[in-house]
Structure 1
Amino acid sequence: MANSNITDIFSEFQTFISHEQESREKIRSTVKDIEQQAREVLAILQSIHLETGIRDIPENCVQARKGFENAKAKYSELMEIIPDGQYYRFHEHWRFVSQRLVFLIALTIYLETGRLATREEVADILGMKTNRKDGFVLDLEDYLVGLLQLASELARFAVNSVTAGDYTRPIAISKFVTELNSGFRLLNLKNDGLRKRFDVLKYDVKKIEEVVYDLSIRGLCPKTTVSAVQDEGNDESK
């Protein structure tokens, strides 16, 4: 009788393990589909770094948003797989791709409007929530990491904009990234990974400032605009 009880107990364990393995495989498969959508959007938006890419920004943003719709559908499938109350148990599976999509959405919105995408806005585009009680949530850390990735991409874009002959865009990028840096400085970051990623932001700011400075000494941008940007940068360093 004792051996029978032990067998029953371990049979239940095996049922649990088998069910979890099945769930993880479904999660991995769905996340791979989301990652594919993110790669396709990234390929579209990377064209901004080409000499002729700036003129294609409106159309590429339209194409990017179609990719976000596809990713949203896949996230909806993912939500059906995750057992109730176990979001953070499996979160590592989609953490990276969520950060990548935050970056891509934020980049798209910046290219369209010149402003920062809010967490609520990004979550809505992906069919997520910002409050865990309301459902499948866009983790705050994932959102912040995505914004830091955006800053690095814009630093690269500032350099390539000059190559493409657009001398005003780096000034706008400098103002935006400086303000973003100011926002992050308000946070008391405890997470080591996020803190290290934030440390890169100061180099992104410096890189963009160097582009603006080079334009100014060459007389390729309005001095009043440059002065305003430099003043903001000086304020940040205090």
Structure 2
Amino acid sequence: MLKLTPLQLWNGYFTCFDPDLFLEDDTFSYPEVEKLALEDEDEDSILRKIREDFKEIKQSIDSLNCTSGAKERLTNKLKENTFFFLLASRYFNSVAYHFKTRDLFVPLKVPACTTLKEHEAGYRYNAAGIVMKPNEIDEILGEKAFAYSPYLSALLELSEMLVDYTTNIIIKLSTDSDGDDDLVKGQYSLALLNFSLLTHLQNGFQMLDLKNDGIRRKYDKLKYSVKKINGIVYDLSLRRLFPFKAEVTDR
């Protein structure tokens, strides 16, 4: 997926569900469609596979003949990896959806997290959240007690991935034979979106009192990631390659 542009993600490899589902009914939200993907046994759902593997491995860890401390470390690592896959799944779905459905040359604003909005059928989730929240992960995995330390580690791992993804896509777009097409050029704004997302994450982590050494070390990498993507954005700005602005918003 790290080599697929947002439009290629939509057209060739959508990670959670059939993209046509969104186009048929714009009241659908990510959490709601993710639930459909989990419940439909006839569909080859990545989310359901992640949930099943998580439960199976967690049961295997619980049955190990080792100390409780060792079990806790293994379980936390399992949660960190699983949370990362879910965060990445939501991120790629969100990016694909917004770049597919956006209006040309109109600024792109993507809410950082899923929020509730009023709808004629009651309150529904907003479809645009780019970061999966703890309660959404809980609902997918069927967990009752959420582990925040693995979640923070997974968020920081996602941050590192955004740098690689941004770099790959900018290089790919610069060598695209259809580089003059407005839809293709519009994907350069992915760098703006990812820079905004990383800035949001950095601002959030700055509010935390990080005492965990592992998370603290990963947070130091986040500052480097922000600096690196900022350099990419600056270079593309000088070359006037952004046809529209793109940012992550609080709502």
User: How would you bin the TM-score normalised by the shorter chain?
Assistant: 0.5 to 0.7
How far, CA to CA, are the matches of 1:121 and 1:141 in structure 2? 16
Cα pair 1:75 1:127 within 8 Å, conserved = no
Which runs of at least 4 in structure 1 moved beyond 3 Å after TM superposition?
A: 57-60, 74-83, 86-89
How far, CA to CA, are the matches of 1:178 and 1:207 in structure 2? 12
Q: Residue by residue, what CA displacement relative to the aligned partner does 1:62-116 show, whole Å, maximum 9, x if unpaired?
A: 3797233123123334565638xx9766122232232122112111112222521
**Corresponding residue of 2:166:** 158
- The TM-score, its normalising length taken from structure 2, stands at 0.59
How far, CA to CA, are the matches of 1:183 and 1:162 in structure 2? 27
Cα pair 1:145 1:194 within 8 Å, conserved = yes
Q: Does 1:211 align with 2:226?
A: no
Match of 1:179 among 192, 195, 200: 200
**Corresponding residue of 2:74:** 93
Q: Does 1:109 align with 2:90?
A: yes
How far, CA to CA, are the matches of 2:240 and 2:6 in structure 1? 24
Q: Residue by residue, what CA displacement relative to the aligned partner does 1:32-69 show, whole Å, maximum 9, x if unpaired?
A: xxxxxxxxxxxxxxx2325x675134633137972331
Cα pair 1:171 1:225 within 8 Å, conserved = yes
Deviation at 1:121, TM superposition (A): 1.1
- Higher mean C-alpha deviation, range 66-75 or range 198-207: 66-75
Structure 2, unpaired ranges of 5+ = 18-33, 38-44, 96-129, 174-186
How far, CA to CA, are the matches of 2:55 and 2:157 in structure 1? 25
The code of the aligned residue for 1:118 comes to K
How far, CA to CA, are the matches of 2:154 and 2:171 in structure 1? 26
Cα pair 2:80 2:153 within 8 Å, conserved = yes
Q: Does 1:60 align with 2:3?
A: no
Q: Residue by residue, what CA displacement relative to the aligned partner does 1:129-153 show, whole Å, maximum 9, x if unpaired?
A: 2x3xxxxxx4210000000000111
Q: Does 1:126 align with 2:165?
A: no
Q: Does 1:146 align with 2:154?
A: yes
How far, CA to CA, are the matches of 1:57 and 1:152 in structure 2? 23
Structure 1 pair 181–163 and aligned structure 2 pair: CA distance change class (3 A): same
Structure 1 pair 143–225 and aligned structure 2 pair: CA distance change class (3 A): same
The code of the aligned residue for 2:200 comes to E
How far, CA to CA, are the matches of 1:203 and 1:72 in structure 2? 32
How far, CA to CA, are the matches of 1:100 and 1:77 in structure 2? 14
Residue 221 of structure 1: SS of its match in structure 2?
Answer: coil
Cα pair 2:166 2:191 within 8 Å, conserved = yes
Structure 1 pair 87–120 and aligned structure 2 pair: CA distance change class (3 A): farther
From the two aligned structures, give the one with the greater helix fraction. Answer: 1
How far, CA to CA, are the matches of 1:117 and 1:74 in structure 2? 19
How many residues align? The count is 172
Higher-Rg member (1/2): 1
Structure 1 pair 125–117 and aligned structure 2 pair: CA distance change class (3 A): same
The code of the aligned residue for 1:158 comes to T
**Corresponding residue of 1:4:** none
Residue 60 of structure 1: SS of its match in structure 2?
Answer: coil
**Corresponding residue of 2:40:** none
Q: Which has the higher contact order (CA 8 A, sep 6+)?
A: 2
How far, CA to CA, are the matches of 2:46 and 2:245 in structure 1? 36
How far, CA to CA, are the matches of 1:219 and 1:125 in structure 2? 42
- The TM-score, its normalising length taken from structure 1, stands at 0.62
How far, CA to CA, are the matches of 1:53 and 1:185 in structure 2? 30
